[in-house]
Amino acid sequence: MPRYKHYDYQQSILIPVNFDEQIMPGTLEHTINYLVEEKIDISMLETRFHNEETGAPAYDPKILLKIVLMAYSRGVVSSRRIERLCRENIVFKALTAGIEPDFTTIAGFIRSIEGTEQFLFSDVLLYCSELDLLGGTTFALDGCKLPSNASKEYSGTFNDLKKKKEKLAKTVRFLMAQHRENDHKDREEVKQHKQRITQIKQKIDKIDTFLAGHSPKLKSRQGEKQSNITDNESAKMKTSKGVIQGYNGMAMGDSKHQVIIAAGAFGNGQEYELLKPLMITAKENARRARLGRRYFQGKQVIADTGSFCEDNLIYLSGEKIDAYIPDQQFRKRDPRFVDRDRYKSKKDALYTKEDFTYCGKTNTFTCPEGNILKFHTHQTFNNTNGRVYRALLSDCKKCTRRDKCLRSEKTRQRSLYVIEKYFNRNYSEEMKAKIDTPLGRNIYSMRMGIIEPVFAHVCSAKGLNHFTLRGRAKVNIQWVLYCLVHNMEKIARYGMASG
């Protein structure tokens, strides 16, 4: 029978550990330790302590910040799991010099960062600039929609929530009537019945409390936004994986090493409303990082089609920024994609304005089915003035090709809008012409290589697939700190390694 070396899992050993030797140069933990100790100003975090004469000694904010950043770099966001790492992981023990804060201290520290996260971010951005990690010529911005710690079940307009409350109340009445009928049955079954009634009543109370303490959220144009009882600052957003209840993590990256210039989380899925706030944050970060108040003037800023709107183009033009933002139809005009629809069924395509024939003598349009669209009125729309032509309701009602002409079954009749002139300067048409040039298409193609790797690194490599906190302020802390870790890894790879 072969012999093996003896081992015993009940045996304990003592290992001499030098904390300083565990933090080896060239590693991320060494970069985090160096930046927090030497480059990041934490004086704003120290203002909340008032124990100079009385009170117990507090945990050093530097130690707590190192713990959180190192945990986020490993995809750990739970305060209890971070506490366990401080007790069991040798790298965390080295970073904390053996200090083991409990999970309530860690969670409280993360909340206390509110209002200071952008200053911490700017300090790291300043060091990126000192290491020459910023190209400073081309930037790209985009958003990443992630689920939050909120339930879609409790989303809706105030009328939706009232209907949900009535439906739950009806369920309670039904269950109570059923409970009275079955009161003589098994005690365990009766107990479960009571628990279910109690749970539904708690849901009703939760909806009542929310409706009494909040007001409906209005849309920027018209109508009411959906509220959420669990986290009212989050929003329903359409993603490639379906509809989520969450936040939109926006980021703006530099083209040289994909260093993030600005970051912010917003409870809004419409990115055209988020470009200006993100640019304002980027300008503030550049100012605090000593890059200058006019750092972005004359620079190229690239955004996706979701940011295309007249207001954004006017704003960027006023800031003297060389913007490249395509409209949603730009690929249809691109000669490189002229045969992009060759495999699509032609019967599914809707009639466009080009399918209608104009007659100058009668000032009418004829649709592909032979019906006449007569002049209806003059209209001003989106900085333009034009003529509106409308078909007869009776013609559209009996037409057999409604599905080819009208976008919705609820649409009553077909109309056409013909632009006659633009008022003042039309920035949208100028941007379309700019994007359609070979140079414009080439510059826009750089966007994916600048900003998409940032989201891949933060969300996939670092494991941020959902936000664990509630409220925009706390979610913004989590998002900005993750982006801070991203920049620290750029420093560790391209800055500290070469310096």
* pLDDT tens track for 183-236: 666 666 677 777 887 888 888 888 878 778 778 877 766 677 788 888 888 888
Percent pLDDT > 70 in the chain is 93
The pLDDT of residue 494 = 87
User: d(Cα 279, Cα 312) in Å, to the nearest integer?
Assistant: 10
Give the residue-averaged pLDDT of 149-157: 82
Please check the confidence at residue 347 and state whether its pLDDT lies above 60. Answer: no
Please check the confidence at residue 16 and state whether its pLDDT lies above 90. Answer: no
Please check the confidence at residue 346 and state whether its pLDDT lies above 60. Answer: no
Tokens 């507090």 locate to 58
Give the residue-averaged pLDDT of 447-462: 92
The overall average pLDDT reported for the chain is: 86
pTM listed for this prediction: 0.81
Cβ atoms of 324 and 435 closer than 8 Å: yes
Q: Six-digit token pair at 263?
A: 């970051």
Tens digit of pLDDT for each residue in 60-101? 899 999 999 999 999 999 999 999 999 988 889 988 888 899
| Listed residue (314, 428, 318) closest to 382, CA to CA | 428
The pLDDT of residue 340 = 66
Pairwise pLDDT comparison (152 vs 33), residue with the higher score:
33
Give the Å distances, CA to CA, from 219 to 65, 352, 358: 38, 30, 38
| Listed residue (9, 29, 4, 68) closest to 474, CA to CA | 68
pLDDT category of residue 24 using cuts at 50, 70 and 90: confident
Domain range summary for the chain, segments of one domain joined by +: 19-50+57-112, 134-149+242-333+436-484, 158-215, 347-424
Give the residue-averaged pLDDT of 246-270: 92
Residue 139's CB: how many other CB atoms inside 10 A?
Answer: 26
The pLDDT of residue 156 = 79
Q: Identify the bridge partners of residue 224 per DSSP, sorted by sequence position.
A: 218
Tens digit of pLDDT for each residue in 385-441? 889 999 998 888 888 888 888 878 788 889 888 888 766 678 888 899 899 999 999
Give the residue-averaged pLDDT of 253-265: 93
User: d(Cα 223, Cα 157) in Å, to the nearest integer?
Assistant: 10
Find out if CATH 3.30.420 is the number for domain 134-149+242-333+436-484: yes
Tens digit of pLDDT for each residue in 264-320? 999 888 888 899 999 999 999 999 999 988 999 999 999 999 999 888 999 999 999
